[in-house]
Chain A
Amino acid sequence: MAEQKKPKRKPGVCVPWEEKVKELKEIRADKELVQKVWEDIDGLGYVYIWQCLLSF
C-alpha cells in the first residue's frame, strides 16, 4: 500500500485539525488536548459516512 497516492483527505478524517486550528484564536494551553478531542470526534463523522457505505 506504500506506493498508493496519498488521498486529499486522509482516512479517518473529515475536517483536518490543520484546517480547524486556523479558525481558532490562540490556544493558550494544552494544544494537544484540543487537537486530540477534535480528531477523536471528527473521526466519528468519518465512521458514520463510511459505515453507511459499507455496512448499511
Chain B
Amino acid sequence: MAKDMQQLYAERLKRYVTAMRNEKPDKIPIRPFVAEFTAKYAGFTCQQVTHDYEMAFVAARKCAADFDWDAIVANMVYVWTGLTQAIGTKYYGVPGIDVPPDTGFQYLEPPEEEAFMKPNEYDALIEDPTGFLFNIWLPRISADVNAMGEQTSYRNNLSFLKGGMAMLNYFNAFGTQVDLMRTESGTVSAISGILKSPFDIIADKLRGYLGLVTDLFERPDKVLAACEALMPHLLHVALSGADPDKNVPIGFWMHRGCVPFISQKHFDNFNWPTLKPIIEEIWRHGHQVLFYAEGSWDAHLDAFAELPDQAIVYHVDMGDIFEVHKVIGDKFCISGGIPNYLLSTGTPGEVRDYCKKVIDGVAGDGGYIMDASAIIQNDAKVENIKAMTDFTREYGVY
C-alpha cells in the first residue's frame, strides 16, 4: 500500500474511532450507510448488486474511491440473494424475479397463520434454540429443506451443501473486500459483526410481528423465556464477528421492538431486560455496539442512557436528533439524522442547509458522525450525496 494511502487510512480510522468514543476528532467523520445507492452510482441495477456480491463489492469500492468518506460498510446490500436462492429461502422478494430489477430486495413477512413458528412451539425454542432452528424453522423457511421425519431429497441435500459453501465463500470474500477498501482508497470498514435483539428476532423471523404482539397478551411468560433463551446465542454470534482490534462497533439492527409497535410497558418488561445485559456484556469485552435505531426510538432514550458511557454509538433515523443529543449526547456518539426524503427529492442547497442545522445542533463537542437517517438506496440523488459530503468536509472542521 502506498504510504500516502496508509496515512489517509490511519487518519480516517483515528477520526472515526475518536468520534465514536464521543470525543472531538479533527473533523466530523463521514460514514454513510450506502446500500443500493452504490449500484446507481456505479451503473449497476439493484438486481446485479443483490444477486452478484462481487458487483456489490465493486460498486461499494467505487463510491469509497470517488467520495471523501471516512468509512463505509463493506457491502450494505447485505443479503446476497444468490446464497438465499441456494438455500431455498422463501422470504425474500428478489430484484429481477419477484420485484423489478431496480427495486431493492424486499423482506416478505408471512401472514400470521403461516408464521414460521407456531404459538404452541415456544417450549421447543426455549429448550434448544439451535435444534429448533435446524429442525423446525429451517424446513419452513426453505423451499428445499425437508421437515424432520419427511423423506429426504436431492434438493434437501443440495440446500445444505450449496448453502454452506456459498456462505463461507461470501464471508471469506469480505476479508479481501475490506483489504481493497483500505489499500485502494484508504477507507475504513465501518462495522464488524451483527446483533439483533431477542425480542426483535422473534417478531422478524419466528412468530411475525402480529404473532408476537398477540403472544405478549396470551402467553407473556413464554415470550420472556424465549427471549432469555436466545440471549446467550445472540451474544455469542455478536462477539464472534466483532473487530478483534476493538476499533469499529458491532452493528445492531433495531426493528419493531419500540413504541408505538409495542407499548412502553412491553418494552420495559420484555425487550429491554433481555437486550441490555447483552450490550453490557459486549462492552465488558471491550466492543462498542452501533444502535441502528430504525424508525424512532425516542420513547426509550432514558433506558439507553442506563448503559455505560461510550458503550454504544446511536444512529438516528426518524427520531428527533436534537432531542437524542439532549438526552444521551453526553454519554454516546450520535450519527445520522439527514432525512432520506431530502436526499431523494431535495436540492443540494437544501441538503447543505440541513447538514448545517444538524452539525450546529449536535456536533459542537465532537461525538457526531455524518450520515443519512436510514440506509441510502437508489432514490438518493448523486448531487445530494455529494452536497452532504462536501459540506461536511468544508464546515465540519474542529
Contacts and interface: CB of A to CB of B under 8 A. Distances in A.
Interface of A: 1, 4-5, 7-14, 44-56
Nearest to B127: A8
B235 interface: yes
A9 B233 CA distance: 10
Contacts, number: 80
Given A1-B235, A53-B137, A9 B131 contact: yes
Interface residues of B, number: 39
B232 A7 contact: yes
Nearest to A12: B236
A45 B134 CA distance: 10
B126 to A, nearest CB: 9
B278 interface: yes
B152 interface: no
B194 A54 contact: yes
Interface stretch (B52-60, B76-84, B286-294, B347-355): B76-84
Interface in B35-94: 78-80, 83-84, 87, 89
A12 B280 CA distance: 20
Q: Which 9 A-B pairs have the closest CB atoms?
A: A11-B236, A49-B133, A1-B281, A8-B128, A9-B130, A11-B233, A11-B232, A1-B277, A50-B237
B231 A1 contact: yes
Given A14-B130, A54-B201, A4 B231 contact: yes
Given A1-B235, A56-B87, A50 B133 contact: yes
Given A4-B231, A4-B232, A11-B232, A49 B130 contact: yes
6 contacts: A4-B231, A4-B277, A7-B129, A12-B240, A48-B164, A49-B134
Contacts of B194: 54-55
Interface of B: 78-80, 83-84, 87, 89, 127-131, 133-134, 137-138, 141, 163-164, 167-168, 194, 196, 201, 205, 228-229, 231-237, 240, 277-278, 280-281
Contacts of B232: 1, 4, 7, 10-11
B130 A52 contact: no
Contacts of B163: 48, 52
A43 B303 CA distance: 34
Given A1-B277, A11-B236, A48-B164, A56 B127 contact: no
Contacts of A51: 167, 237
A55 B133 contact: no
Contact of B228 (A5, A48, A50, A52): A5
B168 A44 contact: yes
A14 B160 CA distance: 15
Contacts of B237: 11, 47, 50-51, 54
Contact of B164 (A44, A55, A56): A44
With a 10 A CB-CB cut-off, give which of A4, A9, A54 has the most chain B CB atoms: A54
A4 B228 contact: yes
Contacts of B201: 53-54
Contacts of A48: 163-164, 167
Contacts of B78: 55
Nearest to B160: A48
Contact of A7 (B83, B87, B233, B281): B233
Nearest to A5: B228
A50 B201 CA distance: 11
A45 B83 CA distance: 16
Contact of B235 (A11, A14, A55): A11
